[in-house]
Chains A and B, each alone.
Chain A
Amino acid sequence: LAKTTQPISMDSYEGQEVNITCSHNNIATNDYITWYQQFPSQGPRFIIQGYKTKVTNEVASLFIPADRKSSTLSLPRVSLSDTAVYYCLVGESNYQLIWGAGTKLIIKP
């Protein structure tokens, strides 16, 4: 099961673009990369999922290089409400996800 490494914390300011990078050197061929957001005392919320190259949805973009050993979650124009913990997970299915420590993102006014 692939493990991930993320920065423990990051901070930024409202209106900025925030990029959080995750390392997953042992990612397997069939593994997908999924990012979740968690607010205090709430369950995680799905943000985005990808396999390779770039994926974009209404809230974020996910950049995955060709070797897939890392991925970058990009949040455009963050607001105070984006302050949360962001988790990067790698696995073939929901049955194989290992939750790392996540990245605590703090957005300042």
Chain B
Amino acid sequence: GAVVSQHPSWVICKSGTSVKIECRSLDFQATTMFWYRQFPKQSLMLMATSNEGSKATYEQGVEKDKFLINHASLTLSTLTVTSAHPEDSSFYICSATRRQGAGEKLFFGSGTQLSVL
């Protein structure tokens, strides 16, 4: 099946630093990728929709200047958490859409656990 690779799996950083998370579709081209945040024992919250070659669409309440998304190619989207603070500590997940037959299927990365000290 389709594989979406997310890197790194976990990262610990100091408050005020920036962290970049990569999401790659390994065996298919993904025109659209999604970024989510998930706090412990809570559900996934969509942060933004990333479209190749254009600006990302952010959900209400998500600061676009803090969570920078770049989708420079059909197989790579990155999320940069700028000037991270402890409240940004969370599990970040990406997903990518792949056409299958008449429809689309969503494939998820393995997630990135961010801990900001």
Contacts and interface: CB of A to CB of B under 8 A. Distances in A.
Size bin of chain B's contact surface: 20 to 34
Contact of A93 (B4, B46, B104, B113): B104
Contacts of B104: 93-94
B45 A42 contact: no
- Chain B, interface SS category: strand
A93 B95 CA distance: 14
Interface residues of A, number: 18
A44 B108 contact: yes
Interface string B81-96: 0000000000101110
Interface in B25-50: 32, 34, 36, 42-46, 49
Interface of B: 4, 6, 32, 34, 36, 42-46, 49, 91, 93-95, 97, 103-111, 113
